[in-house]
Structure 1
Amino acid sequence: MNIGDRVRLLHGKEEGIITRLSSGGQVEIEIEDGFRIPALKSEVVVIDAAEKEYFDRQEGEKDGFIQPIPKTDPSARAAGIFLAYVPYNDQVHDLVLINHTKKSYLFSVDELSGNQTKNLDAGVIQAQSFRKFAERMMRDFEQWPGMKIMLVPLNKKFEVQEQATERKIKFKATNFFKHKGKAPVIDKEAFLFKLNDQEKVLDVKKLNEELNPEEKVSYPNLKIKRPPAAVDLHIEKLTREHDLMSNSEMLQLQLGVFQKNLDDAMATGMDEITFIHGIGNGVLRKEIHRFLSQLKGIKYFRDSQKTNFGYGATTVKIHE
């Protein structure tokens, strides 16, 4: 039984990832929504891959919701810049930056501690190459610091400049251990995360604004789209890159979507709108309620009925 193993409680329905082992015979398990629970080793069992295949059950299945987890990360076959945690042995993992593109990149990797940073490595990583910049002990997973990685593509000829990429990374066990696959270039098994998006479409409007900063573009008769009656704020519904986001970044994205949909609901004359925020640790619900309590232009807000959303949603009644 090791950190990163998916386990199930013998006398309960909970499943999760082991995040800590103690000498006293206890383990700490991170279940869905980031909750962590203690348990005795004798009370948990490792979920074997053969068991999953026999029962035709995928990781992430819970209460009828299935989040498919491929055995090999399909992003490994696509071009891009990757962060790979490559096992050196059972405990030590090498942190490797992989450039699986046809272009060289300037890069900088910083370790984060609150508002302070410490540079781990910087330089140029050539096309189809890799660079090790640190090591991590798996037993210290809970103490791994966050990181900020910046990537700037280098053009060897005249061509449209791709946008620089910045990623702030702080992993949760429930996300980290799902990303095991074959890393490109080095051709080794690793925990693999794509850092940039090679399929971005050129934003012509933004480019024109940058080339003509004095020109004001107006859009008369712009219509505001009426939002749905219930807006789901679960992070996996808002972005595919939530695995690489810190808790504060995810919260800011969720609050931004909440405020935009509330503004649109009020502008389009909706009578009420419901925001599904889940139960979790209650931070998102608290921030939504704090914002609504200071807002003029609404009649009231309340937790939605249990039969509809479980206590994981807030309904806002808007002034007519």
Structure 2
Amino acid sequence: MKFKLGDFVRFVDEKREGYVTRIIDTQTLGVTDEDGFEIPVAMSNLTSVHGHGVVAVEPDAPKPIQVNVPGVNKIENGIYVAVATDDKAGNVVHFHLQNYSPNILLVGLITDRKGKYAGVFHGAIESYGSALVYSASLAELDLWPEFNFQMVVFSKADVKPIDPLVVRKKFRAKDFSTEQKELPQLKNKGWLIRLDDLVPVTIDPQKLKESFFKSSEEKRTVEAPQKEIDLHIEKLRDDHHFLEADEMLQIQISHFQTAMDAAVVHHFDKIVFIHGTGNGTLRDKIHKLISRNPHVKTYMDARKEKFGYGATEVVFK
């Protein structure tokens, strides 16, 4: 019989029950009883008790769970892993891949344990849907494999296709150092980790510079940016009153990225971005992009006496 972390089981040879909280080896499980003691038990000495514990999705037969769209307005569109605790099974956590976007995700999850690979999940996750993809014991965090998420973004709309996403994630203790929160669309508490923000950014300066030439005949070079770039939307678009919040943010991020790329091409020592304070969304976005840029040495609040906390100075290598 196949058991999973979180399963509620009963001992065959004695009157005792508990939850599977650790997989010790191929023949032995750690079962935590009602007194909180974890007992090593041979699988042959256990039987499942139906109607208890977590109903997990088998890796070879994933069943995406539909999520009501109105409930996701508190979370930014994106791809997340919700690491949910198990109220009954102690240190067990369950990984739910959550698709908070209008697209369909075709997903494959492969674990890498010191060069040994295992395919643990594959399937389609509908728009604003969720699927249970993995379970593990938080007490064995140091033994967890590296997670390789391979995702193809599919849309039925008339939009340009998005390149496939490959995200490699090795979970660390710092990922679970914050306070547990109520997870969207799940009954349990835990941690919410965004995946599509973890895609590594690699920039080839030569290819970047070449991309600014329209043709060899035109010999058109990229224009050097200003030393201070104002990202306030009223400075970028005259029609900003007619734009939605998401549209304004996208325009600001695009303007920021263009200026960053140009600064790299022109070998700037530093550049300042004026983003204002506001609700902090723009600041957080560009800080994430800056932190992943391989050409950045460091970044900090720029001239507080002039900008307060409304500007960021980027120092290049």
TM-score greater than 0.5 by the shorter chain: no
* TM-score normalised by structure 2 residue count: 0.42
- TM-score for both structures, normalised by structure 1: 0.41
